Homo-oligomer: A and B are copies of this chain.
Amino acid sequence: MRDLLPLEKARREQVLEQIRQVYRGRGFQEIETPALEDLARLTAGQGGDNEKLVFKVLKRGEELDRALADGVELADLGLRFDLTVPLTRYFASNHAKLPRVLKAIQIGPVWRAERPQKGRYRQFLQCDIDILGDDSELAELELITASLAALETIGITDATIRVNDRRVLSQTLKSLGIDNQEQAMIAIDKLDKIEVSGVRAEIEEAYNSKVADAVANWLSDSRKLELPKELAWVSQLANPGKVRFDPTLVRGMGYYTGAIFEIEHPGSSSSIGGGGRYDNMVGQWSGNQTPAVGISLGIERILDLLPEDSSEDKSLVLLIDSDYTAALEVQAELIKEGWKVRIERAAKNTKAQLTELADQGFASFAHFKPGEKLDIRNLG
């Protein structure tokens, strides 16, 4: 977990606001769910490995005493590990008050109790759009179009999206002789890192050498495969050149039922976003089967691709001595004129003080003396 310094936070909020405006412009509506969900829901088998990484919240009062005495589960709540499980619970709880097709924006932190390591945080931000209640490929088309538009708006123009379909992948593995597919999917998911030979070895260990050879052959030839009918919608995109069929794309989460996506960028070694269709998840909570599909942007990685923010043109440090009332009045006037004005009591070493504020993104300064005209100068 980490603190955000003022410039980091400003940049992040600016980028999020731009993304939010693109999504809102397409009629997506922002919603919010609480950070805590029932632990039972977070560990119901939908979250794959993430379920093991839930921060669990201790029961309280008598309930905790009872749990300790009886030796049962000590926690009743957990911090969400993604925004998808809470969204499906939200849709099941609130569907009567929601439009039949919900096009949701969610921007919020999620938590995973991973071992601390460089570039990975135990609290990080997700920015998701999802369409619930539409079983047509219009949903996939809208999500991909909106995500690419959002990335373009913040200055990321060379992102591409790999797509596959879980049903196609599953049929392929079946045709290669694999019925119990979990181990095979885990191995193929590592293709980028361990290459065909590595996948072959893992499959041989989990199944047998005949199956391993078949998978290896298929992987080697996979780039030549044509778009299957399940993914025919890709050709309906305005910019199909941004989207590439990858028959070997797996994605980790267990809940996907159809199309899956992963967003790539030449400047990032890992994906900068991803998602897919998960038609069975709302039904698990409500009994009402509801089609659903979503894309999540990895904001931390996306921020790494963007240039550092520069200072704001019309921002001013107003150095003052002791006449606070007059200074507050001048500040109010300057704000009306469109300035961003920070009042600072002049330090003994004003040079160091101004350098420090230039580093914080302030562009100019003036030393306020009651009765004298303001002399606004550039900072740094």
Complex Cα gap A142–B345 (Å): 12
B94 touches A3 (CB 8 A): yes
Interface string of A146-157 (1 = CB under 8 A from B): 000100000000
User: Is A44 on the interface with B (CB-CB < 8 A)?
Assistant: no
Closest chain B residue, CB of each to CB of A342 = B27
B26 touches A324 (CB 8 A): no
Interface string of A26-49 (1 = CB under 8 A from B): 111111111110000000000000
A324 touches B141 (CB 8 A): yes
Complex Cα gap A25–B335 (Å): 6
Complex Cα gap A97–B356 (Å): 9
User: Is A98 on the interface with B (CB-CB < 8 A)?
Assistant: yes
Contact residues in B for A328 (Cβ distance below 8 Å)? 141-142, 145, 237-238
Complex Cα gap A26–B150 (Å): 30
Contact residues in B for A25 (Cβ distance below 8 Å)? 335, 339-341
A317 touches B27 (CB 8 A): yes
A57 touches B60 (CB 8 A): no
For the residues of A in contact with B, the DSSP-based class is mixed
Contact residues in B for A362 (Cβ distance below 8 Å)? 27
Contact residues in B for A329 (Cβ distance below 8 Å)? 238
Interface string of A233-244 (1 = CB under 8 A from B): 100111000000
User: Is A225 on the interface with B (CB-CB < 8 A)?
Assistant: no
User: Is A111 on the interface with B (CB-CB < 8 A)?
Assistant: yes
Tally of A interface residues using CB under 8 Å: 81
Residues of A within 8 A of B (CB): 1-6, 9-10, 13, 17, 24-36, 55-58, 60, 74-75, 77, 79, 90, 93-94, 97-101, 103-104, 109, 111, 113, 123, 134, 136-138, 141-142, 145, 149, 233, 236-238, 315, 317, 320, 324-325, 328-329, 331-332, 335, 339-345, 347, 353, 356-357, 360, 362
| CB-defined A-B contacts under 8 Å, sample of 30 | A1-B34, A1-B36, A5-B31, A6-B31, A10-B30, A24-B340, A25-B340, A26-B335, A27-B315, A27-B317, A27-B362, A28-B342, A35-B79, A35-B109, A35-B111, A36-B55, A55-B57, A55-B60, A58-B74, A99-B357, A99-B360, A101-B344, A101-B345, A138-B324, A138-B343, A138-B345, A141-B324, A233-B324, A238-B328, A238-B329
